């Protein structure tokens, strides 16, 4: 079996996402959703993604597109393009699907996924999370994962710039 093909198959467009969701829901799988830029994958990302996966049977990761990251972070971001970031996320065994979204928030994608559980890092407040109220209104849950201190893509980039 071609392992790279298996990984690439976890990077989904809207039609594949809808097919997978239908299959998972038929077998009563609990769907978990989280999202982010994941510019430089670090220990904090891995910890939060693994934690998110533990809330259900299937983890879908919404990934900000390159244009969205530029708008949210800075003109010189992302460091890695969306194809590279998606591939790295899809390689994690506990990530079931990666879906790139163009908007600044994953609100539309959250409506499409309609997750049983939405997960974000503990540095967020539920009332500030895009789509959280909608998930709650649909009968889902919103969970916060403990934030791993001193881990951020920006921090790593700054260390590299300083030559550390």
Q: Are 51 and 27 in contact (CB under 8 A)?
A: no
pLDDT at position 150: 63
Instruction: Measure the CA–CA gap between 90 and 38, rounded to whole angstroms.
Output: 12
| Whole-number pLDDT of residue 164 | 63
Q: Which two tokens stand for residue 74?
A: 């800075």
**CA distance readout (Å), 52 to 45, 103, 154:** 10, 22, 22
Task: Per residue of the chain (164 residues), give pLDDT as tens.
Answer: 699 999 999 999 999 999 999 999 999 999 999 999 998 888 888 999 999 999 999 999 999 999 999 998 878 789 899 999 999 999 999 999 999 999 999 999 999 999 999 999 877 889 999 999 999 999 999 999 986 566 666 666 666 667 76
pTM for this one?
0.91
Q: Is 39 helix (H, G, I), strand (E, B) or coil?
A: coil
| CATH code at 3-162 | 3.40.50.620
Q: Return the domain boundaries, the chain.
A: 3-162
Per-residue pLDDT at 156: 64
Is residue 63 within 8 A of residue 38, CB to CB? The reply is: yes
């Amino acid at each position: 079996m071609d392992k790279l093909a298996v990984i690439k198959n976890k990077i989904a467009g809207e039609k594949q996402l809808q097919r997978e969701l239908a299959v998972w829901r038929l077998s009563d799988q609990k769907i978990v959703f989280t999202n982010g830029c994941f510019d430089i994958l670090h220990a904090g990302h891995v910890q939060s993604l693994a934690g998110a996966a533990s809330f259900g049977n299937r983890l879908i990761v919404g990934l900000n597109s390159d244009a969205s990251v530029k708008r949210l972070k800075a003109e010189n971001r992302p460091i890695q393009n969306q194809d590279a970031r998606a591939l790295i996320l899809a390689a994690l065994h506990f990530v079931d699907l990666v879906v790139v979204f163009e908007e600044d928030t994953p609100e539309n994608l959250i409506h499409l996924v309609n997750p049983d559980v939405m997960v974000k890092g503990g540095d967020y407040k539920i009332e500030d999370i895009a789509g959280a109220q909608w998930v709650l209104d649909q009968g889902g849950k919103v969970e916060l994962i403990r934030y791993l201190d001193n881990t951020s893509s920006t921090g790593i980039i700054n260390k590299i710039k300083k030559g550390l």
